[in-house]
């Protein structure tokens, strides 16, 4: 099974937000650092005017459903930041402590 790269990143965003809410009252806090994803992707482009290039993340051990599609291994490093506050880092659980950034 393959999933679009944008869907994977949206699911990751949702999981991180859920984790933050679930750990809000926890005594242990984790600062979220760079999020690294290493993926095998299939690159597909239709042969018609105006067609877009699409990236599909391949499931490990999955069958070659997109056999005629070129596959590449990519690594993404994402820096998660709160909306509207690009200089602030996120905490995976708990509220911000005094002096914490």
- Beta pairing partners, 2: 58
The predicted model gives 79-99 an average pLDDT of: 71
Ranges of each domain in the chain: 2-78
Residue 66 confidence (pLDDT): 45
Average pLDDT, the chain: 75
- pTM for the model: 0.62
- The answer to whether residue 98 scores a pLDDT higher than 70 is no
Tens digit of each residue's pLDDT (9 = 90 or more) over 55-74: 778 765 545 444 456 677 88
Residues 6+ apart with CB under 8 A from 72: 40, 41, 43
Neighbours of 41 (CB within 10 A): 20
């Amino acid at each position: 099974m393959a999933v679009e790269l944008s869907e994977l990143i949206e699911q990751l965003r949702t999981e991180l937000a859920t984790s933050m809410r679930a750990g809000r009252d926890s005594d242990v806090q984790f600062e979220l650092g760079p999020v690294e994803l290493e993926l095998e992707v299939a690159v597909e482009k239709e042969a018609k005017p105006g067609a877009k290039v699409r990236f599909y993340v391949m499931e490990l051990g999955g069958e070659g459903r997109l056999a005629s599609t070129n596959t590449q291994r990519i690594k993404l490093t994402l820096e998660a930041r709160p909306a509207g506050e690009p200089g602030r880092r996120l905490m995976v659980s708990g509220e911000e402590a005094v002096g914490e950034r």
